[in-house]
Amino acid sequence: MTVSRPSGRAHDQLRNITIERHYTRHAEGSVLIACGDTRVLCTASVEERLPPWLRGKGEGWVTAEYGMLPRATATRTQREATRGSQGGRTMEIQRLIGRSLRACVDRQALGERVITLDCDVLQADGGTRTAAITGAYVALVDAVNVLLKRENLRRNPIIGAVAAISVGVYQGMPVLDLDYAEDANCDTDMNVVMNDGGGLIEVQGTAEGHAFRRHEMDAMLDLAEKGIGELIRLQREALESN
């Protein structure tokens, strides 16, 4: 197949990814991740408190909240704070981010505290939720390192790396890392979350146009595996840099 992508990328090519740590100064972890034109600010905040339903169990919690600045998008979207509630899409995404990050944390080792991952989209061009997961992992590690440095933890609760990418079928061709132009016109859109052991953490595939077949699903999963491998390498490089 020789379908050309709007961006001119190869079918298995990620956009330019940059991961900037310590982007803001208050949070224990603060990462600006850029996937092409998508830019998400991910902060990890440590709080020495527990949600009521977890008290007395000797373990911690990792949760996420997601937001978009009103003009992160091509036309202005209403601010959820003025609307009075988070929309269904927001809730769905922040639940996904939270589950994904909890998958790489030993909550007993974390102890009785909460880490909240706030993922705020400054600029959107497709793939904001997978960028959020990939960036939030780096912020989470930075926050845990702060706790380790403060000697608040006996052992490191991070039990693996987690990253995420979208894949899809665009004009009949499986492609990696959809940007907005592809996302708005693809037949199938799938978000995949994996760990650094090659295990699957979340798979969410949706037929936008017509239903997809098992062989397409297989091709998409192969692409996701390749892309996530690269992302985990980029996370590691970012964490190893000063």
Using CB under 8 A as the binding rule, whether residue 146 contacts its own copies is answered as no
Extract the runs of DSSP E, i.e. beta strands, from 6-113.
17-21, 29-35, 38-47, 61-68
Using CB under 8 A as the binding rule, whether residue 18 contacts its own copies is answered as no
76 marked as part of a ligand binding site: no
Q: Which of 12, 20, 106, 120 binds its own copies (CB under 8 A)?
A: 120
Residue closer to its own copies by CB (options 10, 95) is 95
The span of 9-17, 19-27, 127-135, 164-172 binding its own copies (CB under 8 A) equals: 19-27
Using CB under 8 A as the binding rule, whether residue 86 contacts its own copies is answered as yes
User: Do residues 203 and 192 make contact, with C-beta atoms less than 8 angstroms apart?
Assistant: yes
From residue 221 to residue 240, the character string flagging contacts with its own copies as x (rule: CB under 8 A) and all else as - is: x-------------------
113 marked as part of a ligand binding site: no
Which residue, chain included where needed, has tokens 């994904």? 100
**In the 8-state DSSP scheme, what is residue 134?**
H
Neighbours of 101 (CB within 10 A): 24
Q: Which of 67, 127, 168, 174 binds its own copies (CB under 8 A)?
A: 67
Residue closer to its own copies by CB (options 10, 71) is 71
Q: Which of 3, 10, 91, 184 binds its own copies (CB under 8 A)?
A: 91
Q: Which of 130, 116, 131 is nearest to 40 (CA)?
A: 131
User: Do residues 177 and 189 make contact, with C-beta atoms less than 8 angstroms apart?
Assistant: no
Nearest distance, CB of residue 151 and its own copies, angstroms? 21
Nearest distance, CB of residue 50 and its own copies, angstroms? 15
Pairing of strands 173-176, 162-170: antiparallel
**Rounded to whole angstroms, what are the CA distances from 75 to 86, 149, 183?**
19, 44, 17
18 marked as part of a ligand binding site: no
Tokens of 64: 């996420």
Q: Which of 22, 55, 57, 79 binds its own copies (CB under 8 A)?
A: 79
Tokens of 186: 């693809």
Nearest distance, CB of residue 231 and its own copies, angstroms? 16
Strand order of the sheet with strand 17-21? Answer: 17-21, 29-35, 38-47, 114-123, 61-68
Number of residues that bind its own copies (CB under 8 A): 66
Nearest distance, CB of residue 197 and its own copies, angstroms? 7
Element containing residue 89 per DSSP (H, E): helix 88-102
User: Do residues 42 and 138 make contact, with C-beta atoms less than 8 angstroms apart?
Assistant: yes
Binding residues: 89, 127-129
Residue ranges in contact with its own copies by CB under 8 A: 24-27, 30, 37, 39, 41, 43, 45, 47, 65, 67, 69-76, 79-92, 94-95, 99, 103, 116, 118, 120, 122-124, 190, 194-195, 197-207, 210-214, 217, 221
